[in-house]
Amino acid sequence: MVALARKTLIYEWRRFLPAILAVGFAGLLQLLQAALVLGIFGSASVYITGSSADLWAGYPGTQSVNLGRSIDSGVEMRLRMDPAVTAVEPFHWVDADWRGPNDTGGVSVFVSGINARPDGMMFAHALSPALRARLNEPDAVIVDRADLDSLGVGVGDSAVINGHRVRVVGVSNGLRALGGVNVVASLATASELDTDPTNANRMTYFVAKLRDPADADEIAARLRGNRAFGNYDVWTAESFARRSQLYWMFDTGAGAGVLFLAGIVFLVGAVITSQTLVAAVIGSVREYATLNALGVGVGALRKVVMEQAFWVGALGLLGSTVLGALALVLARSRNVPVALGPWTTLACLALCMGLAIVSGLAAMRSLRRADPATLLR
């Protein structure tokens, strides 16, 4: 079988280049957009994903982890009473005002009061044991490397949070916050920074580790809704993280923006690709008509066009994968929050292959002009 589609693609590559570039850039845009959105909004749940806890207990109806209200300390007992729970620790969230040594004005910060012991669950994935140990010094805090400039401090500098003097003892990586700056402190330091008198004897969250994390859904269900310890609810880490991300994505309108932009990228890509493929079909329409005169069916000719569309899509996606990988490496090295899972990558690539196929279907229509009777004059 003569590989007409592939040979034409190679020989007349200049003709097909715009379509390959259109698919490639559409793919690149979709990938980077998804990576950025997931990276930025993934930081909304960094408290959860950066920790090793399986369950989170907090105020009922909490839509995002940064919006927690305090719950009764007795909830800790309720969690510990369950035989499936192996460890429980508090997480103290304080919205605070930062004044640095340099002239940075007021900066709104989120203080995370965590258990600083080496076996602590909070930020177990985000902070090394050595770094956590430094939090045990009085008034010690850790800030993220990406926030050093906006806070106007370096390691060893002092600053003031809610009127209380603190000292920066280290920097973390990957603890950027949305809508503010993360500051990590020990539980003791955090409670000194919390100026709200109603929070006495209360805690924002309790996190728990389970003997078997696979049972998390079931255990969360049996732990929630016990009124004896006041108002509280229990979620699995996974569902709470997803809820926090979705809250940011849709509450800020970014989610709708992303979907809208994805639609535009698809449309523009499809218009360019289909026009290029149509031009390629029309450029060879007399040859196609000759084949049809010789008895090669229209179905077989359509297959040639679709095969060209497929190869255009495949080459474009190859380009967008390579460029996308380079862009992600660059972004990571510059502390730009990007995150891309295999399923999201596949979805983006599938969308762009869909774009190529839709364009091929559109181009197939112009095969109608390949009427052999028009070759006679």
Partner 1 sequence: MSSISLQARNVTKSFTSGPIHNTVLHNLTLDMHAGELTLISGPSGCGKSTLLAILSGLQRPDAGQVFALGQDLGELNSHALERFRLQHTGFVFQGFNLFPALNALEQVELPLSYLGLAPGEARRRAMASLEEVGLGPRMGLRPSELSGGEKQRVAIARALAKEPGLLFADEPTSALDAANGQIIIDILHRIARTHGTTVLCVSHDPRLVGHADRVLAMEDGRILSDRVPSPTSTPTSGLEEPSA
Amino acid at position 231, single letter? N
Tell me the C-alpha distance between 368 and 290, whole Å: 13
Q: Which tokens in the block code for residue 225?
A: 């809704």
Q: With respect to partner 1, which residue has the nearer C-beta, 295 or 342?
A: 295
71, 291, 305, 348: which one contacts partner 1 (CB under 8 A)? 291
Restricting to residues 10-39, which ones interact with partner 1 according to CB under 8 A?
10-12
Contacting range for partner 1; rule: CB under 8 A; set: 168-176, 224-232, 236-244, 369-377: 369-377
Q: Does 297 bind partner 1 (CB under 8 A)?
A: yes
Q: Does 130 bind partner 1 (CB under 8 A)?
A: no
Q: Does 329 bind partner 1 (CB under 8 A)?
A: no
Q: Does 294 bind partner 1 (CB under 8 A)?
A: yes
Q: With respect to partner 1, which residue has the nearer C-beta, 1 or 228?
A: 1
Residue 234 burial by Cβ neighbours in a 10 Å radius (0-12, 13-18, 19+): buried
Query: What would the x/- binding string for partner 1 be over residues 84 to 123, using CB under 8 A?
Result: ----------------------------------------
Contacting range for partner 1; rule: CB under 8 A; set: 5-13, 152-160, 204-212, 214-222: 5-13
Contacting range for partner 1; rule: CB under 8 A; set: 83-91, 202-210, 295-303, 316-324: 295-303
Tell me the C-alpha distance between 218 and 240, whole Å: 15
Q: Which tokens in the block code for residue 80?
A: 């510990």
Q: With respect to partner 1, which residue has the nearer C-beta, 18 or 174?
A: 18
Q: Does 282 bind partner 1 (CB under 8 A)?
A: no
Can you give the binding site for partner 1, defined by CB under 8 A?
1-2, 4, 7-8, 10-12, 284, 286-287, 289-298, 300, 372-373, 375-377
